[in-house]
Chain A
Amino acid sequence: MEIPDELLYTRDHEWARRKGVHVVVGITDFAQDQLGDVVFVELPAVGDPVKKGESFGVVESTKAVSELFAPVSGKVVEVNDPLADAPETINEDPYEEGWLIVVEPADPGELDGLMDAKAYKTFVEEQD
């Protein structure tokens, strides 16, 4: 299972990547593997507020519907619209093409509370 070193991780299996002043958000390889084939994604609109730890959307697989939780509070500045027609991208490439939203964080310091790759790896192993 892939856990890129440069990303930050939540306990709900989202990842966050700093990109200039913004933060790109997606779900981890472990999350997509547990979900199975993703068939539908519901994402917020550009301009919508998101709040750290609260639901910002929904991902649905053939097994279950799961909520997506924001790793940081702020405003949505970009949404990965092609996922609506190609949700399988999340399974195929969760860390690059399968990104979900880009957030302009209200307080970039919030990212400090997330796990690094090493801590997330340990966390996932405990889950298994």
Chain B
Amino acid sequence: MTDPAGRKPSTERGDASAASADGATRGLVHEEPLLFEQGARGRTGASLPPAPAGLDPAQEIPAALLRPSLEGLPELSELEVVRHFTRLSTWNHGIDTGFYPLGSCTMKYNPRSSEALARLPGFADLHPLAPPELAQGALELMHQLERALSEIAGFDATTLAPAAGAHGELCGLMIVRAWHASRGNPRKKILVPDTAHGTNPASSALNGYAVVQLASGPDGRLTPEAVRAAMDEDVAAIMITNPNTLGIFEGHVAEIAAIVHARGGLVYGDGANMNALLGVARPGDMGFDVMQYNLHKTFATPHGGGGPGSGPVAVKAALAPFLPLPVVVKEGATYRLVTDARERPQTIGRLREFWGNFGMFVRAWALLREYGPEGVRATGELAVLNANYLRARLRDTFHLPYEADSLHEVVFDDQRQQASGVSTMDVAKALIDHGFHPPTIYFPLVVHGALMIEPTETESKETLDGFVAAMREIAERARTDPEALRAAPLLPFRGRLDETRAARKPVLRWRPGMKVE
């Protein structure tokens, strides 16, 4: 089989590990030791000025804090360091390398135009403590993004402060709690469906709420009956992801929202799957009161290397007084940051230092302006089309546990492969040999052996066809040669890792002379 990633086919499969053990290469993919195992005494990558005559470090730094020697630290040249990290980067798989259908993560392409604009000196070099009169452009961008995000999801106001999606959930539930508290009773419970992201119960617990799990119905949707049975005056809110993690639209959402509102509860929207609805439907019109976005999913700001993420929270007018600080306000032709809680007495306060992950605001705004309303709608439509194309082409090969229509992602399972002893894990590992990042596996938990595939709108039909061909070939292999699948992947620089041993006996600290098998 030819390796789609373009590496040399592994003809010396049997002795590849022996070759890499003594520091050899495979073609131009380099084995790479740790920084600690490289370099030589006295080598340095920096030229420091000579110490002033008569300098006594003991006079400058308290003796207790002075290190007697620098023994054991890596000593490398600049070139060695550059090669080390560049080589490691070639072992990685990112959206710039290939297809990355990690369900619920929305690994779409991050356009270079957004990157270029975020690097404009006026944005990139702006000091966070610059006075507002010298930061008007940045504040205007934040204000416009806030307006656009409010409009796209059908809300009245949005905070840009949260640093990522889970931070947004935390913020949204703090707002829920503050709203209830302002009415005299913060309440005790949050309802969370069994298809929710794991962050939903975690955010609830961090806000002091007990979590009540709701079973989804036989078609994968949350039922009004389940919500009605669990809803009482102790429930502060229900958290709903729409479409849910099965990729299915929660068709009863309006009725469910009415049930929750009638007993004084709020409806929280986990906007992680907002990509499916962009420009077509608005959570604010479905009865949601508050929702977090994930700019690093929906608006193509980077995921990799820690992002950073950004998780703006949109709210209805009744919740706006509780939004965290800072808030950008427009006064006449100028913009101002509200940072003083005396101006917003009901605010939940500050979530973090400074003004949010501003570089992500620039990238998201650049994308929105590039796309315009038609492009935003096309994003949602193409994301749904791509997922349904994969569903239609793979459903004769892989078992589809839920028949309900898919939106932006589709969940298969390993039921048809089980007879030959091949599991979801083996399918995922085998995909690596075909040059594809595996989908999300074993999630959502309501599907045993789930394979959760989200292609996003940025992939071409040719890429999707290549993925379909790989999945079909793997399914055929599961029938004819299951042992080979259980050994996959064979082609990447590192083969199948022992995940069980890594979790049970993790080695977290390197020591000189250590040999890890």
Binding site for B on A (CB under 8 A): 34, 37, 39-40, 60, 62-65, 87-88
CA distance A113 to B503 in the complex (A): 37
> For residue A87, which residues in chain B have a CB less than 8 angstroms away from its CB?
504
> For residue A64, which residues in chain B have a CB less than 8 angstroms away from its CB?
442-443, 445
Nearest CB of chain B from residue A93's CB, rounded to whole Å:
16
Interface secondary structure of A, over-half rule: loop
Query: Are B445 and A88 in contact, CB atoms less than 8 angstroms apart?
Result: no
Query: Are A88 and B504 in contact, CB atoms less than 8 angstroms apart?
Result: yes
Query: Are A63 and B442 in contact, CB atoms less than 8 angstroms apart?
Result: yes
Which 9 A-B pairs give the minimum distances between C-beta atoms? A39-B503, A37-B500, A63-B442, A62-B499, A39-B504, A62-B500, A64-B442, A64-B445, A62-B503
CA distance A117 to B499 in the complex (A): 34
Q: Is B448's beta carbon under 8 Å from chain A?
A: yes
CA distance A65 to B500 in the complex (A): 14
Contact partner of A34 (CB less than 8 A), chosen from B198, B441, B443, B448, is B448
CA distance A88 to B499 in the complex (A): 13
CA distance A96 to B443 in the complex (A): 30
Q: B412-449 vs A: 1/0 string, CB under 8 Å?
A: 00000000000001000000000000000111010010
Nearest CB of chain A from residue B443's CB, rounded to whole Å:
8
9 contacts between A and B (CB under 8 A): A37-B504, A39-B503, A39-B504, A60-B503, A62-B499, A63-B425, A64-B442, A64-B443, A87-B504
Q: B92-126 vs A: 1/0 string, CB under 8 Å?
A: 00000000000000000000000000000000000
Nearest CB of chain B from residue A34's CB, rounded to whole Å:
7
Q: B499-511 vs A: 1/0 string, CB under 8 Å?
A: 1100110000000
Q: In this complex, what residue of A is CB-closest to B424?
A: A63
Known contacts A39-B504, A60-B503, A64-B445, then 10 further A-B pairs from the complex at CB < 8 Å, ordered by chain A residue = A34-B448, A37-B500, A37-B503, A39-B503, A40-B503, A62-B500, A63-B425, A63-B442, A64-B442, A65-B198
How many A-B pairs have beta carbons closer than 8 Å: the answer is 22
> For residue A88, which residues in chain B have a CB less than 8 angstroms away from its CB?
504
Query: Are B500 and A39 in contact, CB atoms less than 8 angstroms apart?
Result: yes
**Chain B residues within 8 Å of chain A by Cβ, number:** 11
> For residue B425, which residues in chain A have a CB less than 8 angstroms away from its CB?
63
> For residue B198, which residues in chain A have a CB less than 8 angstroms away from its CB?
65
Q: In this complex, what residue of A is CB-closest to B506?
A: A39
Nearest CB of chain A from residue B344's CB, rounded to whole Å:
38
> For residue B448, which residues in chain A have a CB less than 8 angstroms away from its CB?
34
> For residue B504, which residues in chain A have a CB less than 8 angstroms away from its CB?
37, 39, 87-88
Nearest CB of chain B from residue A66's CB, rounded to whole Å:
8
CA distance A62 to B443 in the complex (A): 12
CA distance A93 to B503 in the complex (A): 20
Nearest CB of chain B from residue A13's CB, rounded to whole Å:
13
CA distance A88 to B442 in the complex (A): 20
Q: In this complex, what residue of B is CB-closest to A86?
A: B504
CA distance A68 to B441 in the complex (A): 22
CA distance A39 to B505 in the complex (A): 9
CA distance A64 to B448 in the complex (A): 11
Nearest CB of chain B from residue A64's CB, rounded to whole Å:
6
CA distance A88 to B331 in the complex (A): 64
**Within B484-517, which residues are at the interface with A (CB < 8 Å)?**
499-500, 503-504
CA distance A65 to B443 in the complex (A): 11
CA distance A62 to B498 in the complex (A): 10
CA distance A85 to B19 in the complex (A): 35
CA distance A63 to B425 in the complex (A): 9
CA distance A68 to B142 in the complex (A): 45
> For residue B442, which residues in chain A have a CB less than 8 angstroms away from its CB?
63-64
CA distance A40 to B425 in the complex (A): 19
Nearest CB of chain A from residue B497's CB, rounded to whole Å:
11
CA distance A40 to B504 in the complex (A): 7
CA distance A38 to B198 in the complex (A): 19
CA distance A37 to B425 in the complex (A): 13
**Within B383-428, which residues are at the interface with A (CB < 8 Å)?**
425
> For residue B499, which residues in chain A have a CB less than 8 angstroms away from its CB?
37, 62
CA distance A87 to B500 in the complex (A): 11
Q: B68-85 vs A: 1/0 string, CB under 8 Å?
A: 000000000000000000
CA distance A108 to B504 in the complex (A): 36
Nearest CB of chain B from residue A85's CB, rounded to whole Å:
9
> For residue A65, which residues in chain B have a CB less than 8 angstroms away from its CB?
198
> For residue A62, which residues in chain B have a CB less than 8 angstroms away from its CB?
499-500, 503
